[in-house]
A and B are shown apart, each in its own frame.
Chain A
Amino acid sequence: MGLTNSDLQWLSQENLPDLPSEEFSLSDLEEKAIANRIDLAMKQQEIKGFEQSLTMARLGMIPSVEGGFNWEKESNGKKLKGPAFEAEVPVFDRKQADRLRAQSQIEAGKKQLEALEAQIRLEVRLAYQRLTSDRAMTETYREAIPIRQEILKQTLYHYNYMLKGVYDLLPAKQEEINTQRDYITASRDYWIARSQLEHAVGISLPIKKSEVKMKAVEESVESIMDHEYHQGGVK
Chain B
Amino acid sequence: MRINFPEGNHILLVIFILSLLFISQNAYSETKSSRVFDQNLPYTPVVTPNGSALPWTSAEDGAKVFHLTVEPCKHEIAPGMVINAWCYNGQTPGPTIEAVEGDRVRIFVTNKLPEQTAVHWHGVILPSGMDGVSGLTQKGIQPGETFQYEFTLKQHGTQMYHSHGDEMTQMGLGTMGFFIIHPKNPTGPKIDRDYAIFLNEWFVEPGTKTPNANVMTDFNIFTFNGRAFPGTVPLIAKTGERVRIRFGNVGQESHPIHLHGHSFKVVVTDGGDIPETAQWPETTVSVFPGQTRDIEFIANAGDWALHCHRRHHPMNAMGHEIPNMIGVNQDDVKDNVRTLVPGYMAMGEKGMDEMTEMNMKGPENTLTMMGGEGPFGSVGMGGMFTILKVRDTNEELKNLEWYKNPPGTVAESVNSNNKTNSSMSENSH
> With A158-B206, A173-B340 known to touch, is A166 a contact of B323 (CB < 8 Å)?
yes
CA A165 to CA B320, docked complex, whole Å:
10
Residue-wise interface mask of B (122-143) relative to A, using a CB-CB cutoff of 8 A (1 in contact, 0 not):
0000000000000000000000
Which chain A positions have C-beta within 8 A of B357?
Answer: 234-235
Contact residues in A for B355 (Cβ distance below 8 Å): 161-162
At the interface, yes or no: B41 with Cβ under 8 Å from chain A?
no
The yes or no answer to B326 lying at the interface (CB within 8 A) is no
- Interface size for B (C-beta < 8 A) is 30
Known contacts A160-B361, A167-B323; is-contact A154 B341 (Cβ 8 Å): no
The 0/1 profile, CB within 8 Å of B marked 1, for residues 125-166 of chain A is: 000000000000000000000000000101011111111111
A-B contacts counted at CB < 8 A amount to: 88
Q: How far in angstroms is the closest Cβ of chain A from B230?
A: 15
Point out which of B318, B325, B352, B362 has the most chain A C-beta atoms below 10 A from its C-beta. B362
Tell whether, in the assembled complex, residue A156 and residue B343 are in contact, meaning their CB atoms are under 8 Å apart: yes
Question: Would you call A226 an interface residue if the criterion is a C-beta within 8 Å of the partner chain's C-beta atoms?
Answer: yes
Q: Are B341 and A173 in contact (CB under 8 A)?
A: yes
Q: CA separation between A6 and B136, bound complex, in Å?
A: 89
* C-alpha spacing A33/B323, complex, angstroms: 61
Of chain B, the residue at the smallest CB distance from A169 is: B341
A163 to B322, CA, bound (A): 7
Cβ of A163 and Cβ of B318 under 8 Å apart?
yes
Chain B proximity of A195: nearest CB distance (Å): 35
Q: Assuming A162-B352, A222-B342, is B361 touching A157 (CB within 8 A)?
A: yes
**Contact call A232/B361, Cβ cutoff below 8 A:** yes
Q: A228 in the interface, Cβ–Cβ < 8 Å?
A: yes
Chain A CB count within 10 A is highest, among B343, B347, B348, B368, for B343
CB of B359 closer than 8 Å to a CB of A: yes
B319 contacts A163, C-beta separation under 8 Å: yes
- Quick check: is B344 within 8 A (CB to CB) of the other chain? yes
Which residues on B sit within 8 Å (CB–CB) of A157?
A: 207, 361-363
Q: Is the CB of B207 within 8 A of A234?
A: no
Known: A161-B318, A165-B322. A228 touches B341 (CB 8 A): no
The reply to whether the CB of B197 lies closer than 8 angstroms to some CB of chain A is no
Report the separation of the CA atoms of residues A169 and B345 in the bound assembly, to the nearest whole angstrom.
11
A229 within 8 A of B: yes
What is the CB-to-nearest-CB distance from B203 to chain A, in angstroms, rounded to a whole number? 13
Instruction: Check B342 against A158 for contact (C-beta < 8 Å).
Output: no
Chain A min CB distance to B369 (Å): 6
- One digit per residue, 1 when the CB lies within 8 angstroms of any chain B CB and 0 when it does not, for chain A 186-219 equals 0000000000000000000000000000000000
Q: Which residues of B contact A154 (CB under 8 A)?
A: 207, 363
- Chain A residues touching B, majority SS: helix
State the Cβ distance, B343 to closest chain A Cβ, in Å.
Answer: 4
Whether the pair A156, B369 counts as a contact (CB closer than 8 A) is no
Q: B358 in the interface, Cβ–Cβ < 8 Å?
A: yes
Which residue of A166, A226, A228 is within 8 Å of B361 (Cβ)? A228
For B357, the closest partner residue in chain A by CB is A235
In residues 70-117 of chain B, which contact A (Cβ within 8 Å)? none
Contacts of A234 in B (CB 8 A): 345, 357-359
- CB of B341 within 8 A of CB of A225, answer yes
Is B17 in contact with chain A by the CB < 8 A criterion?
no
Q: Does B321 touch A at the CB level, under 8 Å?
A: yes
Q: Is B360 an interface residue (CB 8 A)?
A: yes
Known: A158-B362, A232-B359. A164 touches B322 (CB 8 A): yes
Point out the residues of chain A lying under 8 angstroms from B344, CB to CB: 156, 159, 166, 169
The answer to the question of B337 belonging to the interface, with a C-beta cut-off of 8 Å to chain A, is yes
B321, B325, B343: the one within 8 Å of A226 (CB): B343
Is A83 among interface residues, defined by CB-CB distance under 8 A?
Answer: no
Tell me, in angstroms, the Cα distance from A235 to B340 when the chains sit together.
24
Alpha-carbon separation in the docked complex, A189 to B358 (Å): 46
Q: Which chain B residues lie closer than 8 Å to A164 at the CB level? A: 319, 322
The CA-CA distance from A134 to B229 in the complex, in Å, is 53
Within 8 A of A (CB), among B356-386: 357-363, 366, 368-369
B318 and A158 contact, CB distance less than 8 A: no
Q: Which residues of A contact B206 (CB under 8 A)?
A: 158, 161, 163
> Is A233 in the interface zone, CB < 8 Å from B?
yes
A170 within 8 A of B: yes
In the assembled complex, the Cα of A166 lies from the Cα of B345 at a distance in Å of 10
Determine whether the beta carbon of B361 is less than 8 Å from that of A162.
no
- Chain A residues with Cβ under 8 A from B321's Cβ? 165
Interface centre among A165, A222, A226, A235 (most CB of B within 10 A): A165
A173–B360 CA distance with the chains assembled, in angstroms: 19
Contacts of A233 in B (CB 8 A): 359
A-B contact pairs, 20 of them (CB 8 A): A154-B207, A161-B318, A162-B322, A163-B318, A163-B319, A165-B322, A165-B325, A166-B323, A166-B337, A166-B344, A169-B341, A170-B341, A226-B342, A232-B360, A232-B361, A233-B359, A234-B345, A234-B357, A235-B358, A235-B359
Residues of A within 8 A of B (CB): 152, 154, 156-170, 173, 222, 225-226, 228-229, 232-235
* Smallest CB-CB A-B distances: 9 pairs: A165-B322, A229-B343, A160-B360, A161-B362, A225-B343, A163-B319, A165-B323, A157-B363, A226-B342
